[in-house]
Structure 1
């Protein structure tokens, strides 16, 4: 006789199947919810990371130091040799000017390649400075090559005048001064990230009184001196901070008051025209004039640590 399922057994079977379907559905629904939460968490963390990365200044201490060693120093090493050669020429101490300028041309080419070895473009001002230093070195290479050719027919004094008036040299100097101004502007931006009371940008008024100048932080002063040298198209063997120290010394010693000089530009003109600034002036006066000032840890600010 065929056995039939009782009503209770049938209901139990249907209930069991229904419960199983619900459990499977709940399982997959849980997976979907979990995946959605995980994805949302990942997106949120990724956005937070991007926000944090965007908030990091592109002018950190390590950026300034990296630029110094990989871009600025190669340029500076060439510049020192250039000024040494021009000094010898002005004193009539060399009769091998052609050979000297050929060596300078080769050195400029080598240093341009060194300055191109890294990419500083993540920091806009440092990127601009790098490009302009490289351009300057390439132009110095050409200027040196032309000077080597002219050295065969010109006297030392004639050669100096010829070189300093030649368009390639003037362009090389202009690019170098523009690069210097960008580098010191980057230092100002760095100082603003360390001290919120310091502005990240500063443009001096056309007439800046010495009383106003003396209240400025040193990173602003140095940037202003880089501006002053660029405006005057004055390529120098000394740094902007050397000029800063001489201006401060001139003002604090009472000389400015005694000579009735009240503006920064007047003091700068006097110091430059009388050749009263030397490389190393900042280092010599640092302990006297610049105690506990905010400066990046760069070798030309702290030469004793080299």
Structure 2
């Protein structure tokens, strides 16, 4: 008896296997398409819900902005101020105990993280929730970065240590998240202003390359938002805040130096000022009465000298 398969049997088997493969592939393709459509639908619903939340008349209230300042922004800034002071000390005092200083900084960052984490941000102000998340991530990344240098911090010089820290991936991400949080906070202020004064679009989509003629016509809150954007784009950290950069830009324009130097954009002036360390903490308060006496601002402590 011939046990070999006939050609027709072989062709039938191959055909069956081919159809099986096609069926399986079609099944998984259908699953993928269905998943993608479901995700698209979820994202659309999320976006619609986000827009609905932002449209709420209770969104971005002054109370929310002030509460965020005290419960999230201020704890973060207190850590950053201590970090900036440590940097200055390490560069000027080689005998400083940098290892102990780092341990104290890590301890402070952990305490500020715990403090800011429990702060309640109402869902009607999603940008403030975003800012809180970014600041928390930044503090956690600072903890991870600085902790890795604690045991070896007293080796070498202070400048070498700082160079090593600032090349660390966790440190770079900590800076990135902090600046993203800062931009979200200043955009929240723009949202507040747009609700208070519905005749003006304070939440401008203008870029930092905008012409100086356009910059001059913008309200202060929008200028501050653009300064925050610039700081985020350039990864600029330090003691000064967006409003300090805004004030220095306006002071530079008022002096006529921008025209003399043929600078055309907000970004080009900001580049010059920041690269020459011409921006300082408190510049805004010094220029407030000169340039911004009639400008609308939320009643936040860093906008007031008192």
So what's the TM-score if we normalise by structure 2? 0.80
Pick the aligned partner of 1:249 from 244, 248, 251: 251
SS of residue paired to 2:150 = helix
Do the aligned residues in 2 keep the contact of 1:57 with 1:193 (CA within 8 Å)? no
Quote the Cα distance in structure 2 between the aligned partners of 1:152 and 1:252: 47
Correspondence for 2:112: 111
Pick the aligned partner of 1:203 from 199, 202, 205: 205
Correspondence for 1:37: none
Quote the Cα distance in structure 1 between the aligned partners of 2:252 and 2:55: 43
Give RMSD over aligned pairs: 1.7
Quote the Cα distance in structure 2 between the aligned partners of 1:157 and 1:80: 18
Do the aligned residues in 2 keep the contact of 1:120 with 1:127 (CA within 8 Å)? yes
Pick the aligned partner of 2:277 from 275, 278, 299: 275
Quote the Cα distance in structure 1 between the aligned partners of 2:267 and 2:229: 11
Do the aligned residues in 1 keep the contact of 2:94 with 2:158 (CA within 8 Å)? no
SS of residue paired to 2:279 = coil
Unaligned runs of 5+ residues in structure 2 are 1-51
Quote the Cα distance in structure 1 between the aligned partners of 2:151 and 2:65: 38
Q: Residues 40-68 of structure 1: CA distance to partner in whole angstroms, max 9, x if unpaired?
A: xxxxxxxxxxx9x9742310100000000
Quote the Cα distance in structure 1 between the aligned partners of 2:239 and 2:209: 26
Shift of 1:73: 0.5
Correspondence for 1:137: 139
Unaligned runs of 5+ residues in structure 1 are 1-50
Shift of 1:201: 2.5
Quote the Cα distance in structure 2 between the aligned partners of 1:186 and 1:202: 12
Quote the Cα distance in structure 1 between the aligned partners of 2:207 and 2:175: 25
Do the aligned residues in 2 keep the contact of 1:88 with 1:94 (CA within 8 Å)? no
Quote the Cα distance in structure 2 between the aligned partners of 1:95 and 1:201: 45
Shift of 1:94: 4.4
So what's the TM-score if we normalise by structure 1? 0.80
Say whether residues 1:240 and 2:227 are aligned partners. Answer: no
SS of residue paired to 2:303 = coil
Q: Residues 251-305 of structure 1: CA distance to partner in whole angstroms, max 9, x if unpaired?
A: 111111111112111101000100000000000111111111100000000131x
Quote the Cα distance in structure 2 between the aligned partners of 1:272 and 1:127: 29
Quote the Cα distance in structure 2 between the aligned partners of 1:177 and 1:206: 15
Count of aligned residue pairs for this structure pair: 253
SS of residue paired to 2:171 = helix
